[in-house]
Structure 1
Amino acid sequence: MKNRSRYVLLHKLVSFAVPGAIVLLQACNGVGPATGLFRSTSPHEQYEQSLKSAKLDRTALGIDWLDVAQRALRDSLQISIPYRESGYFAAGRPFAVGYRLNAQRGDKLIIRVDIQGQKEGQVFIDVFELDDRAPANRPNLVVSSKADTNQLEWEVRRTRMHLIRIQPELLRSGRYTIAISREPLLSFPVQGRTSRQISSFFGASRDGGQRRHEGVDIFAPRGTPALAVTDGIISRVGVNELGGNIVFLSDNARNQRLYYAHLDRWHVTDGQRVSTGDTVGFVGNTGNARTTGPHLHFGIYSGGEGAVDPLPFIRLGSGPARQPLLAAGRLGDSVRVAVNQAFLRNAPHGDGLIVRSLPKTAALTILGGTADWLRVALPDGITGYLSNNAVETAARSLRQLTLNKPTDLVESAVPSAAVVDRLPAGAVVDVLGAFNGYQLIRQRNRMVGWIRL
C-alpha cells in the first residue's frame, strides 16, 4: 500500500511539474548535427532538466529513468538496416533501449516509432555517433526527434557506428514498433538506371596503380540524360584530359561538388541554377574513355577532404523492414530455455556476439523483438537476443517442490532482492525455471517469485 501511495504521489508530481516543460518541448524544432558547445539542448535533455527542477530526479522512479537512459548507451544492441521489432514498456518501470548500427556518409536513415498505449505521451528518439575518443556513457549527440513527432530522418555526415536510443517519458505504458530503413541522400545521376548498373567503383586501381578511381562508372547508351542529383548551381562547364566534357554541380548545402565526366555534350551553362532531375548533359565517352563504351563517371568532392565514395549517396534504398513481428500477447511473458544450451547474443541473428551461454530451464522475460529472435532480459538485468526456437513458456510447471523449511520468497534472483512473502515449511510450489541458484516458483495462490534453496 505504501508503494502504491508513493506511485500515485509521483504521478501527481509529474503531471503537475513536468507539463510546463512539455509545452517547451513541443515548441522545440529538434536538434540537428552537433556543432560543438553551442548546440541546442535536445527534448530528452530538456525533459531530464525538468525532472531535476521538480526534484523528481531524487525519487526512485526518477533515478531509475536517468539510469536506464545511460545504460542504453552502454549496453546497446547491434542491428542491420532495414530492421523492425516490437516491444513493451510499463508505467511503473522506466525503460530505454539502444540500437547500434553501421551508417555510411551519404545515407539518409529513417526511424519511426509507433506507440499503442492508454495515454498519449512523448517518446524521445536520439541518435549518437560512437567515437573511440569519447567515454562510452557520453557519445556525441548527432540529432534528436522533435518533441511532437514519432519519426526522425537524418543525413549521415560521417561513416561510423551510430547508436539510436528510444526512451518514453515517465509513467507511460504501451506497446511500440520501431522501424529503421535507409534511403540514398541524392537521386541517381543517369536517367532510367539504378545503382545496379554501376560497373566500376570508387578506389579501383587506374593506370597500373598510379592513381585510384575517384568515382563510379554508370554505363548507358550514348545520349542518355545525365541528371542533377540535387538542387544546386553549375559551377563549371568545360573540358579536361581525363574527363573529356565535364560538368561540376555545387551542392552548397553539404559543402561538396558533384562531378559529371565523359559527357557526349552539355545541357547547362556556368552559373545556372538546377533542380533535382534536371538534365545537365548526355552520356558519352569523351576524354580518356574513348576506347570504352559510353558511360557517366560520377564523383563527389567534399570541401577540405577531396574525393569521397559516391556510392552510399546514390545506391538503392534498403526498402521497408520486413521482419515478422512478435505477437503482441507475448510481450512481457516469462519464458525459459527449452534446449540443453542457448546463446544470448547482442544481435538478432546467429552471427551476433555471444553475451552469455544459458543452460536449460534458465528463466527469461520477453521485452520485445521479432517472431524469430526475441529480445529478452535475464533476472540480473542483462539483455540480448535469443532464438525463439530455444525457448518455451514458463507457465507450465517443470515439477512440484515441497519446502523442508521456512523460505523467503523474493521479487528477483539477486541477493539484494526484496522479500515479498515468507513460505512455511511443507508448502508445495510449482517450479517454473531457474537462474544462478534461484528457483522461479508459483504458489497455490498463483503468486510467482524466486526462492533460494
Structure 2
Amino acid sequence: MIYQDRTSGMSGATIAAISLVMKDHTLNNTPMRTTARSLLLTVSILAMACSSSRKGLFTEKSAHEQYASRITDAGLSTSELGIRWFSAAQKAISQPLSVAIPYRETGYFAAEKPAAAGLLFSARRGERIIIQIDMKPAGQFRLFAELLQPGKPGSAPSLLAAADSTTWKLEHVVEADGQFILRLQPELLKSGGYDLSISTGPTLAFPVPNNANPTIGSFWGDNRDGGKRSHEGIDIFGKFRTPVVAAADGIVTSTRENNLGGKVIFMRPDHASYSLYYAHLDAQLVQEGQRVYTGDTLGLMGNTGNARHTPTHLHFGIYTGNGAIDPMPFVLRQRTPAPPVYVDTTLLQQTARVNTTTPLYAAPSPKAIIVEKLPANSVIAILAGTASWYKVSLMDGREGFVEGKRVAVSSFRKQTVKAAVPLLDQPDTLAAVKTTIPAGSGIQLMGTNGAFYFVKHGEERGWVRL
C-alpha cells in the first residue's frame, strides 16, 4: 500500500520568495541566521496557498522528489540551504543508522538546520511493515517519508512507498527477506517534532480461530526423524476436530490424502506467489476449485498421516516454486511492542555533553558496534530519543546512539577568562567571531571538542580556545 501527496509541493510564489531572500543574503552578506528567520516568516505566510494535501496511489514521483525538483528548478540547489538539504537527504540513504524493529523514536527538526533522518532495519517475507508518524504541531510543517530498499553496491535504492502528511500510517508487504531504509525529511525552513513507530504485523489470518485457544508447539526448522529432516512449517495444537480456517481469500487447489500429511488441503491466496498447506486433518470440508474467504472453515483438526501417535494438531506450511518457507512471519499475531521513549525529549536539538567517557554506538543497544569512545564532556547534538537512548550527532557530522544516563546539559565548570577571548560560532580558529569576551569575565564551560570549549557567556553561546 503506497501513499503519495498529489500536490505539486511549494507554490511558485513560495519558491520566488525563497529565491528573493537567498539573493538578498548573497548580495548584502547578511547573517544566515537572520536570513533564515526572514525566510521562515515569508514561507509561513505564502505556504498557506499550498498547505492542502491528500493521499493517493504512488505514480511517477514521490512528494519528496517533486519538492526536490522545485528547489532545483528555482536555482536554489546551489545555495547554502539547498546544498545542506540535498546533502542531508543523501546522507540519510547512504549512512542510515541501524535499528531493530519494533522501534519507537521521538525527534525534532529545527528550521535553521536542514536535516534528514535515515533508519536501516530488517524485515522478513510475509511480514507487513507498519510505519506510523504523528507530527507536532500537526498541520504546521510538511514531512516527507520514503520507504526504500537498498540496491546492489553502486546502485540507487528502490523506492517502495512514500507519503507526506501531518498524521499518517504507511504499510508495506514484505515479499523477500531483506533490509529497508526509512528516510524522513522536512521541507526547508520549517520546525517540527515527530513521534515515529516502526513495527511489523502478519499478512495472513491465523489458520485456527482465536476462540479455539490454539498454541504453537513446534516451529520451522525443528528436527524430525532423529535429525534426518527438518520441520517445514509450524504445528498448531488444539482440541480434536477444531475448525481450521482459510488464512486468506483464495482458491482451494487440492484436497488429498498421503502417508506423511494424512488428509491435507492446499489453497492459493489471491495474487500470491505461494500456496498454503493444511495437514493432519480429521476431515476436509471443501473441494478442489472452491473459492474461499478469510475465516471460512476448510476442515477439522486431527492427527492423520504420520501424526496419528501425536496430540491433535494442524501442520501449517507455505510453499513457493522454490520449496517451503517459514510461515511464522505470515501469521504471528502477538508481537512485542517497542518500549516507550523514557529519555527527556525536552532536550531535543539542544547542544549537550556526555558526563563521562561514553561509547557512541552504531545502534541503540549495548551489544552494538562502538563507533568511538567519546571523552568526558564531549559536545553532542541531541537529535531524537528512543527508549533509554539518545540519537546524537557529533561536531564532525557523524551520528550514533548514547545512553541517556550519560548525557548532561549543565555546565561542568565555571571559569574567569584572564585575557579577552573571541567567541566563535564553530570550534575552528577560522570560524566567524560572534563577539569578544572581555578579560575578567565569567564563563560557563558547557562542553569540549578537541582543544575548544563550548561556553556560555551571559545569553551568548559559542566556542573559545583557552
TM-score range, shorter chain: 0.7 to 0.9
Question: In the alignment, is the contact (CA less than 8 A) between 1:195 and 1:316 conserved in 2?
Answer: no
Any idea what SS the aligned residue of 1:70 has? helix
Q: Does 1:44 align with 2:64?
A: yes
Residue in structure 2 matched with residue 3 of structure 1 by the alignment: 32
CA distance, structure 2, for counterparts of residue 192 and residue 430 of structure 1: 62
Q: 1:218 is matched with which residue: 236, 246, 260?
A: 236
Residue in structure 1 matched with residue 112 of structure 2 by the alignment: 92
Q: Does 1:300 align with 2:318?
A: yes
Residue in structure 1 matched with residue 14 of structure 2 by the alignment: none
Q: Does 1:447 align with 2:447?
A: no
Residue in structure 2 matched with residue 349 of structure 1 by the alignment: 365
Q: 1:30 is matched with which residue: 52, 58, 65?
A: 58
CA distance, structure 2, for counterparts of residue 317 and residue 62 of structure 1: 45
CA distance, structure 1, for counterparts of residue 201 and residue 31 of structure 2: 51
Following superposition of structure 1 onto structure 2, how do residues 333-348 of structure 1 map, counting pairs within 5 Å? 333-339=350-356, 341-348=357-364
Q: 1:48 to 1:425 in 2, by over 3 A?
A: same
Q: 1:96 to 1:21 in 2, by over 3 A?
A: same
Read off the aligned partner of 1:29 and give its amino acid letter. Answer: L
Question: What's the C-alpha RMSD, in Å, of the aligned pairs?
Answer: 2.8
Q: Point out where structure 2 has 5 or more consecutive residues left out of the alignment.
A: 1-29
CA distance, structure 2, for counterparts of residue 210 and residue 436 of structure 1: 61
Any idea what SS the aligned residue of 1:248 has? strand
Measured after TM superposition, the shift of residue 424 of structure 1 is 4.6
The count of corresponding residues between Structure 1 and Structure 2 is 437
Measured after TM superposition, the shift of residue 26 of structure 1 is 4.2
TM-score (norm 1): 0.87
CA distance, structure 1, for counterparts of residue 252 and residue 51 of structure 2: 45
Read off the aligned partner of 2:398 and give its amino acid letter. Answer: I
Identity %: 37
Residue in structure 2 matched with residue 112 of structure 1 by the alignment: 132
Following superposition of structure 1 onto structure 2, how do residues 238-257 of structure 1 map, counting pairs within 5 Å? 238-257=256-275
Residue in structure 1 matched with residue 75 of structure 2 by the alignment: 55
Measured after TM superposition, the shift of residue 14 of structure 1 is 6.2
Any idea what SS the aligned residue of 1:229 has? coil
Residue in structure 1 matched with residue 408 of structure 2 by the alignment: 392
Residue in structure 2 matched with residue 418 of structure 1 by the alignment: 432
CA distance, structure 1, for counterparts of residue 389 and residue 214 of structure 2: 31
The worse-fitting range, judged by mean Cα deviation, of 246-255 and 122-131 is 122-131
Residue in structure 2 matched with residue 329 of structure 1 by the alignment: 346
Residue in structure 2 matched with residue 362 of structure 1 by the alignment: 378
Measured after TM superposition, the shift of residue 418 of structure 1 is 3.2
CA distance, structure 2, for counterparts of residue 143 and residue 194 of structure 1: 37
Q: 1:125 is matched with which residue: 141, 145, 151?
A: 145
CA distance, structure 2, for counterparts of residue 208 and residue 45 of structure 1: 56
Any idea what SS the aligned residue of 2:288 has? coil
Q: Does 1:273 align with 2:302?
A: no
Structure 1 stretches of at least 4 aligned residues deviating more than 4 Å after TM superposition: 8-23, 25-28, 146-149, 193-196, 424-427
Deviations 1:373-421 (A, max 9, x none): 1122222222221112112223x351213143x5332222246643323
Q: 1:16 to 1:56 in 2, by over 3 A?
A: farther
CA distance, structure 1, for counterparts of residue 165 and residue 341 of structure 2: 29
Deviations 1:191-244 (A, max 9, x none): 237998222222334345554322111121210111111111111122223212
CA distance, structure 2, for counterparts of residue 337 and residue 92 of structure 1: 24
Measured after TM superposition, the shift of residue 113 of structure 1 is 1.1
Read off the aligned partner of 1:429 and give its amino acid letter. Answer: I
Question: In the alignment, is the contact (CA less than 8 A) between 2:133 and 2:167 conserved in 1?
Answer: no
The worse-fitting range, judged by mean Cα deviation, of 221-230 and 156-165 is 156-165
Any idea what SS the aligned residue of 1:368 has? strand
Following superposition of structure 1 onto structure 2, how do residues 149-164 of structure 1 map, counting pairs within 5 Å? 150-164=168-182
CA distance, structure 1, for counterparts of residue 164 and residue 313 of structure 2: 43
Residue in structure 2 matched with residue 231 of structure 1 by the alignment: 249
Q: 1:401 to 1:146 in 2, by over 3 A?
A: closer
Read off the aligned partner of 1:41 and give its amino acid letter. Answer: K
The worse-fitting range, judged by mean Cα deviation, of 198-207 and 430-439 is 198-207
Residue in structure 2 matched with residue 186 of structure 1 by the alignment: 204
CA distance, structure 1, for counterparts of residue 254 and residue 405 of structure 2: 60
Any idea what SS the aligned residue of 2:72 has? helix
Q: Point out where structure 1 has 5 or more consecutive residues left out of the alignment.
A: 32-39
Q: Does 1:134 align with 2:149?
A: no
CA distance, structure 1, for counterparts of residue 350 and residue 147 of structure 2: 29
Read off the aligned partner of 1:30 and give its amino acid letter. Answer: F
Q: 1:415 to 1:293 in 2, by over 3 A?
A: farther
CA distance, structure 2, for counterparts of residue 241 and residue 20 of structure 1: 70
Q: Does 1:315 align with 2:325?
A: no
